[in-house]
Chain A
């Protein structure tokens, strides 16, 4: 617990210092989304896919210096707007495929997990402390359907804000009676880092859980999740 508090304090410090020297963040866009991914998407998918990746890069560059609440809104809106919703089995040919943002934007489609992943990655890169972010398994009550959203905790014990692909507006969880939370997990941590390291070293992501598998694939694309 001590360790966690320490890292939280450290990342807060880093956050404030990053606001002061925001110019450096702009230069970091190439580390967030490598430039060659645009050309790669054009080659792998089509021209518009490349444009969408490029737009994503531009958006990150643009909002990197915004206040945190604006960042949430911009990122949420970008993905809800730009990526059409499809179910996994229709889009990827297999149930429960966790796609990278590159794949979601490239194929121009994704389901709830893909939105969550894309938003999580983008926010974590443009300076939102990942200890405030949780990936939450929920049940969409009206649709009676398994769903996933990204939640944002301004303070550790606060009611979180919900970033959902069903609605474009970000609301506090208390204002979302249509969603029933099941379980949320911290996508970052020593354990996961370690497992990721082993997964990458072993080069066989199939044996790991979906999240680690995803991180390995992201890494292969040059994006450090």
Chain B
């Protein structure tokens, strides 16, 4: 029972008791009054009757009985008796009570009127002739008393009604601030830290609200502190301070993960070296050198907006490395040329008298050795450096195991694929860290073309280049919905997580089309989650927030993946209505050897759990890593260690880890 209910019950009880007590007192007083009046009237009547009868000739019995008749016929009396002194009744008039018009019988029984016979002597001179006895009629009194009580009860009912309504209104008013306090308390327990702006006037409540606000601010401060610490740790470990790009370690970690994971990759690795940077440092001063590096970092970051999936890093001194995903050698060539011309017209233009060279290698395949990749890029660089002026060189490989397509061919390919929806879905189970059960299923997509299966690594750069991301995302989501049709309805619901590209999130028309699509599949919509890579937050946080709000009514979860690869402050975790975060595979690779990776994941888990978010780890391939990640307290794990992506949705849902 809520406090308000208790209050209103108590107050209602009080009103009822007061009114009922009032009613009882009225009944008793009324009864006493009527009793007194009736008895008084009987006594007066007896006295005056006896007096009149005493004045009449003793033998005129007719006259005497007529006197009694006159009184009796007035109707106020129930019984008038005249008896001689020896007790013999001479004349008597009496009648039963009226049957109708009076009070109900139960009322008469409940409230008895004690009527006393009034007696008076009838005399003849000095002698007594007899006694008249008069008893009043109770009917009139009952009728009046009943009328009085009925009126009182109606009044009672009205007062009760009005009092209860007024009470409810008053209590609602009084308890409004209490309800707000309750909501704030509930919000806090849901990890939703809100400061209440409305401070109630009542002193006790005001103090409670102030105390809660203080606590909320404290919690927010603690969260901010923790997030900041983790961010600084990451920055110090993986970022290069002068340029803001990845440092050697950060680059190698992510690049290594992309190359060595059991999944296809396709991209170009570029190494850039500024030849006379040491001289420049010496001549222009260390500060100028740092400024130059910062400028370089900035222009590279800017360039990156066209290639959001790319990795940019400074290895040491004036050595830079870039990895840009691309579909084939032709595109790789374009990219290297673009990067080269960007450098030549911005930070490294001729006026700085700096000479730089680029060496690049196109990488495509299932597994590559990062060291081998670097040595090939290095070979290309050496070749370029044979020229004294700025030059770039792409490593030439003799054999090409992949088909090469022109831009026009790519366009035809992608359009046909989207129209025919010839997209293959693959499903990777994510299992719970607590009970080894299936937690969710990640959905990947592949494209079939002329007997070949192209992985995302190969076709995705082209999708982005041709601005087909939004269309592609919609097709994938609809395909997932269609595959879910055959699922057992009674089975435990599992979320299917589909990736959204940053370009889709930024596209307003995509929001609209997505909402229409979800409206067409309301049941299936509740079983999917859409996730966006962390680096997209940098440019698209507002768009993601808007999209998440739009998705909420459909029951669609929103998550962030590749967490740890971006340079975002963790505050977004608090700002966005997220359901989970997925830590990037590069953090999980070799985590059993890297104490700081483990610490980073642990901090992430702590921060996310404070906000009631699930933390998932992806890309797990080795048993020691799985064990180490399990210890950090993440909620779910996924990767080739458990299984390769499965082609059938049913298989994924029914998949259980081998014990």
Contacts and interface: CB of A to CB of B under 8 A. Distances in A.
Q: Do A and B associate with each other?
A: yes
Interface of A: 1-2, 4-5, 134, 136, 151, 153, 156-160, 173-174, 181, 183-186, 189-191, 194-195, 198
A129 B275 CA distance: 148
B51 interface: yes
B126 A1 contact: no
B356 interface: no
A185 B120 contact: yes
A181 B119 contact: no
Given A5-B87, A183-B54, A191 B117 contact: yes
B119 A186 contact: yes
B123 interface: yes
A174 B126 contact: yes
Contacts, number: 64
B126 A159 contact: yes
B85 interface: yes
A184 B86 contact: no
Given A183-B51, A183-B54, A185-B47, A160 B89 contact: no
A181 B36 contact: no
A1 B86 CA distance: 9
Nearest to A151: B126
Contacts of A5: 87
B121 A157 contact: no
Interface string B127-151: 1100101000000000000000000
Given A134-B121, A157-B86, A184-B121, A194 B39 contact: yes
Contact of B89 (A1, A159, A173, A194): A1
B43 interface: yes
Interface of B: 32, 36, 39-40, 42-43, 47, 50-51, 54, 81, 83, 85-87, 89, 116-121, 123, 125-128, 131, 133
A193 to B, nearest CB: 9
Nearest to B81: A1
A1 B43 CA distance: 16
Contacts of B121: 134, 184-186
Contacts of B116: 190-191, 194
B39 A195 contact: yes
A180 to B, nearest CB: 9
Closest 5 CB pairs of A and B: A173-B126, A156-B85, A157-B85, A191-B116, A191-B118
Contacts of B119: 4, 186, 189, 191
Contact of A198 (B36, B50, B128): B36
Contacts of A195: 36, 39-40, 43
Contacts of A183: 50-51, 54, 123
Contact of A1 (B39, B87, B125): B87
Contacts of A158: 127
Nearest to A179: B126
Nearest to B124: A181
A83 B32 CA distance: 41
A183 B47 CA distance: 9
Nearest to B120: A185
Nearest to B85: A156
Contacts of A136: 126
B89 to A, nearest CB: 7
A173 B40 CA distance: 31
Nearest to A8: B87
A159 B85 CA distance: 13
Contacts of B117: 190-191
A141 to B, nearest CB: 13
Nearest to B134: A191
A39 B546 CA distance: 103
B128 A157 contact: yes
A5 B119 CA distance: 13
Nearest to B54: A183
Name the residue in A183, A189, A198 with the highest tally of chain B Cβ atoms < 10 Å from its Cβ. A183
A153 B83 contact: no
Contacts of B39: 191, 194-195
B120 A153 contact: no
Given A2-B87, A184-B128, A186-B121, 7 more contacts: A1-B87, A5-B87, A134-B128, A153-B128, A157-B86, A181-B123, A194-B39
B127 A159 contact: yes
Contacts of A159: 126-127
B54 to A, nearest CB: 6
B86 A156 contact: yes
Contacts of B54: 183
B117 to A, nearest CB: 7
A87 to B, nearest CB: 25
A197 to B, nearest CB: 11
Contact of B127 (A157, A185, A194, A198): A157
A198 B89 CA distance: 31
A187 B42 CA distance: 16
Contacts of A186: 119-121
29 contacts: A1-B81, A1-B133, A2-B87, A5-B87, A134-B121, A134-B128, A136-B126, A156-B86, A156-B128, A157-B86, A157-B127, A157-B128, A158-B127, A159-B126, A159-B127, A160-B127, A174-B126, A181-B126, A183-B50, A183-B51, A183-B54, A184-B128, A185-B47, A191-B39, A191-B42, A191-B118, A194-B116, A195-B36, A195-B40
Contacts of B118: 191
Contacts of A153: 128
Nearest to A138: B126
Contact of B123 (A4, A184, A190, A194): A184
Given A151-B126, A195-B39, A1 B85 contact: no
A188 B383 CA distance: 146
Contacts of B126: 136, 151, 159-160, 173-174, 181
A160 B119 CA distance: 20
A4 B119 CA distance: 10
A62 B253 CA distance: 134
A151 B51 CA distance: 17
A85 B32 CA distance: 41
Contacts of A189: 119
A4 to B, nearest CB: 7
A134 B127 CA distance: 11
B130 to A, nearest CB: 9
Contacts of A151: 126
A219 to B, nearest CB: 18
A194 B39 CA distance: 9
Contact of B83 (A1, A157, A173, A194): A1
Contacts of B127: 157-160
Name the residue in B39, B51, B119, B120 with the highest tally of chain A Cβ atoms < 10 Å from its Cβ. B119
